[in-house]
Structure 1
């Protein structure tokens, strides 16, 4: 295993130009997924995130066959599928998860059919499914940077509206918020975040980059603002540590990054100061008095009130 100093030297080595490029893309993708993942976690949209990862596949396949940009191809396919889901979900006869199951799996199947028509498709399919972080072209680095910045800007501008819909859809609708268009906007943001990360850790593992850092941050704080700061920090740090371990131990980069993020989540699950397993057991193990019950109820109410970043006192 190489030392951290040797890893830094490799990053600065002109003959290993792909390594700092891989690190930059991994960190940028993790930051974007961390912010968008907070809304996904709060709204219980993990299944939608997984489905979007499947939906971008035909766009990736078409872009590969035509030798175009994988990021742009995946984004177009994901956005088109997200729009179809949002439109068809307006029919209340079928629940949203059923519509998602139909369209996103069909999109993935279409991608497999398209990629199978290309010569040497087996290797290409493995690249799509498991990532190829060291083979990212220079132009895709710029695409990830620009698209990521735009995505974060849109998420910031629609932050209050997304939070309102997450807390109570019916109240948001009665307040005059365009819930359908906000849902569609969030679908599109999730799609772009996933497309930016597919080359980093692959189509199969990309959901982890969207969900795991945000879930860990959710355990560490009750405030959405702080959660949206912690999630990209956790994701970016996981990308850095994961790429270092991958380079040192000759392990797959995508899988290693995901395992590092999962380790952070497990630490938060056990040791988070308020919502960790040990903290909850200490509270439940102590003698329950009326004062303690009132305090626990106050904590729960405070958590709900601070989801939008509003202090409770």
Structure 2
């Protein structure tokens, strides 16, 4: 781009020089009656005017080149600043990504520990659930035994009632026997006493079994509630384990995406750095070309000054005539 600008400027300068040359050819035809000193003087004056125009044009070109060189230098400084900011951004981003990866790694470790604890708790809950389940079976067995004992107690009560009835009959028969039945009457009384005691004991057993039945019903109810609570807790822990698995999968996906971003950013930054380096190299080359052109223009200006000095010497010849 800069080379095209320089070509345009040089083309413009060449056109200017051609115009000056053509004007000199058109305006400076030597009259026949003019002597060579006057003609040389006129040529020197026209040449001085044209050289001054050239110097003025070259001065503008030199100024433009210097302005362009200064702009290129400022651009180079800005590019270096951008390159520095990109480098700092890359380091900051890498630090942030490293911190995120570290946090994810720590989180995964904690989740693994929590999942292990939850699994252990779930296993323990399953064991407790089995204990409650077995306890319900035990209560059912106890209830069956209770029913059997209750049947035995009722049988004892029936036997006591029958024994009491037999004792009553024996007492009646002893009374009929008179003196000879006194001993039998005593035995009948003892049997009645034993029967009454047995009947009261059977009644106490039945009452205690009734209380025991209420206790067993209460224990069974609480056992079923405990079993349900343990089952719900086990289900919740299983859901928690599934949630931990989902979180772990999500973190793995995030980690994968971070790696993709990290790789993509690294490629982008490297590409930007390479492009900036190319721009800096090209800018440096263009700056060197500008400096060389400025040097050539300034050298040409010095040559023009020498020519002007010679022209002044030619003009002095007319004055010395």
- TM class by shorter chain equals under 0.3
More helix by share: 2
Greater relative contact order (Cα < 8 A, sep 6+): 2
Larger Rg computed on CA atoms: 2
